Amino acid sequence: MRNQPTILAMGGGGFTMEPDNPALDDYILSLTDGPEPRVLFLPTASGDPTAQITSFYGRFGRMCSATHLSLFRRHGSARSLADIVLEQDVLYVGGGSMRNLLAIWTAHGLDELLVEAWRRGIVLVGLSAGAMCWFQGGITRSGGPPEVINGMGMLPGSFSVHADGEPERLPVWLAAVRSGELPGGWAADDGVALQFAGTKMVKVVTSRPGTAALRVDAVAGQLVRHRIEPVLLGTGVSKSPIDQPVSDDIRELRDLRYGMRRN
């Protein structure tokens, strides 16, 4: 029996960013039923690189029925995309260029299949571009500097990734939310994942201590910010950032990220 529509959107992390930390990938498998879930990896955003595909099998090959789909190497395939996609339990989308990702999916009709998969209760998972794509919009670096990009709109709101790893995205995202170019939404540090049941955000988890998510909305032209403490995987409890001395530059970045003044 299928679950309700589920999306896990990761700011960063998983096997491509944390080869020695399986916490997020283990959590993904916990969202499925059955002893041997079927997991399909979609490395489209990075051009189906061999190294990324190999890393996927290294992490998932012994834990589940793992396969990948290369849209760049479809010649000679006897099976339709619908047959491949709709038989899965998890569809895992890798990071890379969101602009290229959406263009290629649309050209193959995969975007519509992914919506159908979600409606059927197949778990959708992704990091970076593979996480932003489900939302109304986000901040991409596909063309170099951070810029606004529209997503598929399956989830309401916007999403900005790598909040701690690539903080240059945040000012662009905040300005877009303030101006109304993007709807309010979330920003997530690397290792942080937002879980959605249907279109409702129900849980935030992380593989890394000291990380967080941020909810931002524009109200009467002003930004309203709310820091979300995630559950640290493996502990079952939320964790506050580790207190340690920081430089003025880092403190200023944190003020920008979370809208808080620290003395």
Known catalytic membership, residue 158 = no
The predicted structure's pLDDT at residue 95: 95
The predicted structure's pLDDT at residue 17: 95
pLDDT per residue of the chain (263 residues) written in tens, 0 to 9:
467 999 999 999 999 999 999 999 999 999 998 889 999 999 999 999 999 999 999 999 999 999 999 998 766 677 899 999 999 999 999 999 999 999 999 999 999 999 999 999 999 999 999 999 999 999 999 888 999 999 999 999 999 999 999 999 999 999 999 999 999 999 999 999 999 999 999 999 999 999 999 999 999 989 999 999 999 998 765 543 333 333 333 333 334 433 332 22
- The radius of gyration computed from the CA coordinates of the chain, to the nearest angstrom, equals 18
- Catalytic one of 68, 158, 162, 207: 162
**Quick one: CA torsion of 127, 131, 132, 136, rounded to 10 degrees?**
180
Known catalytic membership, residue 162 = yes
Per the listing, tokens 């690539």 go with 166
The predicted structure's pLDDT at residue 76: 62
d(CA 260, CA 73): 48
The predicted structure's pLDDT at residue 67: 96
Strands 123-127 and 135-140: unpaired
- Catalytic one of 46, 55, 97, 128: 128
d(CA 187, CA 193): 10
The predicted structure's pLDDT at residue 236: 61
d(CA 39, CA 66): 5
The predicted structure's pLDDT at residue 257: 39
